[in-house]
Amino acid sequence: MDTVLKMLALIISGWFFSVFGHENHYFYPPEVPEHQAKSFLHKRHVNINASPNPAYCIYERYENWCKSHILYCQGQLEHTREQKCATLAPCAPGQHCHLANPCPDRFSLACVDIDECASNPCQNGGTCHNGNNLYTCTCLPGWTGHDCEIDIDECASSPCMYGNDCIEDRINSYVCVCSERYEGVHCERDCRPGPADIMFLLDTSLSQNEVMNRSIEYMTRFVKQIPIGPNDFQVALVSYAFKPELVFNFTAHQSNTSVLDALSLIKSERGPTTTSDALSFVAQEILKPENGARLLPNISHYAVIVTNGLSTDRNQAIQTAQFLKATDSRFKILAVGVGDDIGHEELIQLPTYPFYTFAPDNDDLLMAMLKDAADYGCTDCNSSSVTDVVILFDTSKTTSPLTGNSIHSLKAVDKLLDSFDVTNTDIRAAMMTYGNGSQIKFDFHQRSIHDTKAKIYTASIEDEKGNTSLALSSVQDKLFFGVSTGSRFAARKIVYLFSNGKWSMTEISEIRQEILKLHDAGISVNIMIPVRSLNAEMDNILANASNIAFDPFRVYLIEDNASSVSFALKAAVRDTKYVECPPDIFKAKQ
Ligand SMILES: *[C@@H]1O[C@H](CO)[C@@H](O)[C@H](O)[C@H]1NC(C)=O
Ligand SMILES: *[C@@H]1O[C@H](CO)[C@@H](O)[C@H](O)[C@H]1NC(C)=O
Ligand SMILES: *[C@@H]1O[C@H](CO)[C@@H](O)[C@H](O)[C@H]1NC(C)=O
Ligand SMILES: *[C@@H]1O[C@H](CO)[C@@H](O)[C@H](O)[C@H]1NC(C)=O
Ligand SMILES: *[C@@H]1O[C@H](CO)[C@@H](O)[C@H](O)[C@H]1NC(C)=O
Ligand SMILES: *[C@@H]1O[C@H](CO)[C@@H](O)[C@H](O)[C@H]1NC(C)=O
Ligand SMILES: *[C@@H]1O[C@H](CO)[C@@H](O)[C@H](O)[C@H]1NC(C)=O
Ligand SMILES: *[C@@H]1O[C@H](CO)[C@@H](O)[C@H](O)[C@H]1NC(C)=O
Ligand SMILES: *[C@@H]1O[C@H](CO)[C@@H](O)[C@H](O)[C@H]1NC(C)=O
């Protein structure tokens, strides 16, 4: 049985050999590791002096002699023997032939793989992989080609958006060189503010032409600071008193001069102020293509209400505003208070956010809009609350709010301090009381809110008469620009002057002079008048306070009524938070 199997195996192997061996295929000698093949070569220089005849080493009939002088023959006629390798070419492509035995009977051959990687063919740090008669390279990032000889052009795919330049700064990396207008790794953010459609909603029911003049001046100053045109900002105007009316649409005026000319022609009217209808009207008109509105996702839409906040239909106006806020996010409402006296409570409830209510004596509304109208993530315009505020509290018998009203006015200061939220913002607060002289209750250095509040309640009547203008100038000298008071040079500066407003006529003109001086020094003064209730006397006080304020917007009546206090204070702290944009934002961003 065993023998039969062996026979079978022989037959099969014989057949195998006959098919694949002699007749069709040449069988390469086995591949051996290089060190084994070379073990013979290493010995070839062994010098044997007995030298009958080197030729004995290559003739077959001297085979036995060769075997017995193998060390001698190893060193002889190497060249001739090597020719065997050359003529027989016995090895597979990619292999070296070596003579593993020097004797002529069978110069046994060994084949050794050639290390194609030995010549370091992979360039630029690529890793070489030796294969059978070939090599492959694994390239470092940024390179390609068989030998990693090709530097990949990372800019070829135009990774920088809006046609901004791409430069290959290092291997496997590029940088986008964004023009001023764009930001981001791929210049993907268009940071030029706008385009935007702005619809002014102008309350023309103002009692005096002089107020209309201020509204027009406000809009004029605004328009002068933005580029007007079909690819930039477009301005439309709705006026309203009793009935809203589209004065001009978004495309009627396509240049700044044209808009400015149109604004100068507006007339005021007498009559009720129906802000609710006006808001509904704006909601219908602001997005109409037939008014020139551009309904593209990259174009923002704003309604800017210019009013004194004293609507005839106040409750309805607020309701309509709340309804629009809740139902239409396609446009935002901002409000600016222009008038002889200002209904802060209404004004703060009309815009999309309470902090979209603005004073007319600065450009805060414009800055907030520019930030909003730029792409998300652009950093040209930043929000800030770096503000130093001074509470200046009158403690003279004649004009102090403590007179006849003591606790309410100190509570109002307490709530004002809460509204600043000094622990969560960059706002710093100081307090000064004054009669004939002045006294710093606390300066801008931060301390515990508990200590601060305790200091508020130490204020009491000190002198018979006070000197408010003197106190205002000492706020500037002793607090804002005083030595080591914790004030910050670059901070916005605001004074909250608490008084009962019962100044004499000479005082009024003195205080006004001082407030104008402070305004020129970049310091705003808000007049805070705590009142028990509104009465006939209040009209006079309000008129006198509006007279001394830089703008009537900066007068706040603080009623002894929890909910209206919070509206007045919210309005009063509005401009402690603001947006700063570079002055040349449009010029730089062309
Ligand atoms: C507005 O006031 C300025 C100066 O205060 C004056 O020159 C201008 O004529 C006024 N405009 C109107 C429309 O009253
Ligand atoms: C109107 O725009 C032009 C070009 O943008 C500018 O040169 C000019 O100063 C602007 N005029 C006003 C009044 O802002
Ligand atoms: C806008 O107003 C202009 C001038 O009053 C008018 O000619 C135009 O038809 C109106 N509509 C549009 C879409 O421009
Ligand atoms: C706004 O988007 C439109 C279409 O998506 C585009 O053609 C236009 O250039 C964009 N405008 C700006 C200023 O990015
Ligand atoms: C104000 O105080 C100064 C000294 O501090 C004093 O000379 C002056 O008489 C006082 N004036 C009044 C009106 O109290
Ligand atoms: C307030 O003080 C200033 C500066 O000392 C002085 O000129 C002015 O007359 C004073 N006013 C009153 C009402 O005392
Ligand atoms: C306000 O000013 C008027 C003059 O314009 C004056 O008659 C009145 O007494 C002042 N009111 C108060 C409360 O000081
Ligand atoms: C407080 O003010 C609100 C809003 O002005 C008003 O609705 C409310 O009746 C007032 N409450 C009191 C007690 O005066
Ligand atoms: C806004 O903030 C960014 C990043 O902090 C800064 O580079 C930029 O100068 C700031 N812009 C202004 C107007 O402060």
Tell me the percentage of the chain whose pLDDT exceeds 90: 54
Contact between 560 and 549 under an 8 Å Cβ cutoff? The reply is no
User: Is the peptide bond preceding residue 195 cis, with omega within 30 degrees of 0?
Assistant: yes
Contact between 104 and 62 under an 8 Å Cβ cutoff? The reply is yes
Contact between 568 and 356 under an 8 Å Cβ cutoff? The reply is no
Residues 445 and 406 in one domain: yes
Asked, for residue 8, whether it belongs to a domain, the answer is no
Residues 412 and 452 in one domain: yes
Spacing, Cα 435 to ligand 5 middle (Å): 10
The amino acid present at 142, given as its one-letter code, is: G
The amino acid present at 158, given as its one-letter code, is: S
Contact between 485 and 479 under an 8 Å Cβ cutoff? The reply is yes
Residues 336 and 262 in one domain: yes
Contact between 30 and 100 under an 8 Å Cβ cutoff? The reply is no
Dist. CA 449–CA 436, nearest whole Å: 28
Asked, for residue 72, whether it belongs to a domain, the answer is yes
Residues 409 and 372 in one domain: no
Q: Please tell me the predicted confidence (pLDDT) of residue 429.
A: 96
Residues 338 and 308 in one domain: yes
Instruction: Assess whether the C-beta atom of 213 lies below 6 angstroms from ligand 1.
Output: yes
What atom in ligand 4 is closest to the CA of residue 192? 13
Q: Ligand 1: which residue has its CA nearest to atom 9? A: 213
Residues 276 and 183 in one domain: no
Spacing, Cα 441 to ligand 2 middle (Å): 49
Spacing, Cα 573 to ligand 3 middle (Å): 41
Residues 180 and 199 in one domain: no
Q: Ligand 7: which residue has its CA nearest to atom 14? A: 502
Q: Give the model confidence (pLDDT) of 531-545 as tens digits.
A: 877 777 888 889 999
Spacing, Cα 522 to ligand 7 middle (Å): 28
Asked, for residue 18, whether it belongs to a domain, the answer is no
The amino acid present at 453, given as its one-letter code, is: K
Residue ending a domain, choose from 316, 343, 376: 376
Dist. CA 438–CA 238, nearest whole Å: 49
What's the Cα-to-Cα distance from 518 to each of 20, 474, 480, 578, rounded to whole Å? Answer: 108, 11, 11, 19
Spacing, Cα 436 to ligand 5 middle (Å): 6
Residues 408 and 539 in one domain: yes
User: 120 lies in which domain range?
Assistant: 116-151
Residue ending a domain, choose from 127, 151, 175: 151
Residue ending a domain, choose from 341, 376, 411: 376
Instruction: Assess whether the C-beta atom of 208 lies below 6 angstroms from ligand 1.
Output: no
What's the Cα-to-Cα distance from 506 to each of 75, 294, 340, 439, 509, rounded to whole Å? Answer: 127, 55, 21, 24, 5
Q: Ligand 9: which residue has its CA nearest to atom 4? A: 379
Contact between 306 and 336 under an 8 Å Cβ cutoff? The reply is yes
Asked, for residue 20, whether it belongs to a domain, the answer is no
Q: Please tell me the predicted confidence (pLDDT) of residue 28.
A: 66
According to DSSP, the residues that pair with 197 across neighbouring strands are 234, 301
Residues 198 and 182 in one domain: no
Tokens of 549: 């304020």
Q: Please tell me the predicted confidence (pLDDT) of residue 109.
A: 63
Tokens of 32: 């051996």
Contact between 109 and 100 under an 8 Å Cβ cutoff? The reply is yes
Tokens of 11: 């037959």
**C-alpha closest to that of 389 among 362, 424, 419, 366:** 419
Instruction: Assess whether the C-beta atom of 224 lies below 6 angstroms from ligand 2.
Output: yes
pTM of the model: 0.76
Spacing, Cα 40 to ligand 2 middle (Å): 94
Q: Which residues contact 434 (CB under 8 A, 6 or more apart)?
A: 392, 393, 394, 395, 396, 466, 467, 468, 470, 471, 474
Dist. CA 512–CA 497, nearest whole Å: 13
Dist. CA 261–CA 264, nearest whole Å: 5
The CATH number given to whatever domain includes residue 497 is: 3.40.50.410
Residues 225 and 305 in one domain: yes
Q: Which ligand is nearest to the CA of 381?
A: 9
Q: What are phi and psi of 351, to 5 degrees?
A: -75, 170
Tokens of 257: 């001069």
Dist. CA 540–CA 535, nearest whole Å: 10
Q: Please tell me the predicted confidence (pLDDT) of residue 37.
A: 64
Q: What is the 3-state secondary structure (H, E, C) of 496-542?
A: EEECCCCCCHHHHHHHHHHHHHHHHCCEEEEEEEEECCCCHHHHHHH
**Which mutation among 217, 253, 256, 584 tests ligand 2's pocket best, with the greatest number of atoms within 8 A of CB?**
256
Contact between 514 and 469 under an 8 Å Cβ cutoff? The reply is yes
Spacing, Cα 36 to ligand 4 middle (Å): 74
Q: What are phi and psi of 544, to 5 degrees?
A: -70, -40
Domain count, the chain: 5
Asked, for residue 227, whether it belongs to a domain, the answer is yes
Helix intervals (H) in 286-361: 314-327, 344-347
Q: Ligand 4: which residue has its CA nearest to atom 4? A: 296
pLDDT (tens place) for every residue of the chain, 590 residues total: 444 444 433 333 333 333 333 444 456 666 777 666 666 555 555 555 556 677 777 777 888 887 787 777 776 666 766 677 777 767 777 777 766 666 766 556 667 778 888 889 998 889 999 888 889 999 988 888 999 998 888 888 888 988 889 988 777 788 898 887 788 889 888 888 989 999 999 999 866 678 889 999 999 999 999 999 998 999 999 999 888 999 999 999 999 999 999 998 888 887 788 899 999 999 999 999 999 999 998 899 999 999 999 998 999 999 999 999 999 889 999 999 999 889 999 999 999 998 999 999 999 999 999 999 998 888 889 999 999 999 999 999 999 999 876 688 999 999 999 999 999 999 999 999 999 899 999 999 978 889 999 999 999 998 889 999 999 999 999 999 988 999 999 999 999 999 999 999 999 999 999 999 999 999 999 999 988 777 778 888 899 999 999 999 999 998 877 677 788 899 999 999 999 998 888 876 65
Asked, for residue 5, whether it belongs to a domain, the answer is no
- The mean pLDDT value of the chain amounts to 85
Tokens of 160: 């920088």
Contact between 567 and 337 under an 8 Å Cβ cutoff? The reply is no
Tokens of 575: 């401009």
Residues 186 and 198 in one domain: no
Dist. CA 113–CA 96, nearest whole Å: 6
Q: Which ligand is nearest to the CA of 209?
A: 1
Instruction: Assess whether the C-beta atom of 509 lies below 6 angstroms from ligand 1.
Output: no
Dist. CA 2–CA 449, nearest whole Å: 106
Asked, for residue 325, whether it belongs to a domain, the answer is yes
Instruction: Assess whether the C-beta atom of 470 lies below 6 angstroms from ligand 6.
Output: yes
Dist. CA 96–CA 85, nearest whole Å: 9
Q: Please tell me the predicted confidence (pLDDT) of residue 12.
A: 38
Contact between 417 and 427 under an 8 Å Cβ cutoff? The reply is no
Residues 538 and 453 in one domain: yes
Q: Which residues contact 252 (CB under 8 A, 6 or more apart)?
A: 236, 262, 292
The amino acid present at 12, given as its one-letter code, is: I
> In 139-195, which ranges are E strands?
143-144, 150-151, 165-170, 173-177, 182-183, 189-190
Q: Give the model confidence (pLDDT) of 63-118 as tens digits.
A: 888 778 777 777 666 676 667 777 776 777 777 776 666 676 655 666 777 888 88
Asked, for residue 55, whether it belongs to a domain, the answer is yes
Instruction: Assess whether the C-beta atom of 438 lies below 6 angstroms from ligand 6.
Output: no
Instruction: Assess whether the C-beta atom of 533 lies below 6 angstroms from ligand 8.
Output: no
Spacing, Cα 176 to ligand 4 middle (Å): 21
Q: Ligand 4: which residue has its CA nearest to atom 12? A: 298
Q: Which ligand is nearest to the CA of 584?
A: 9
Q: Which residues contact 307 (CB under 8 A, 6 or more apart)?
A: 201, 202, 203, 273, 275, 335, 337, 338, 339, 347, 350
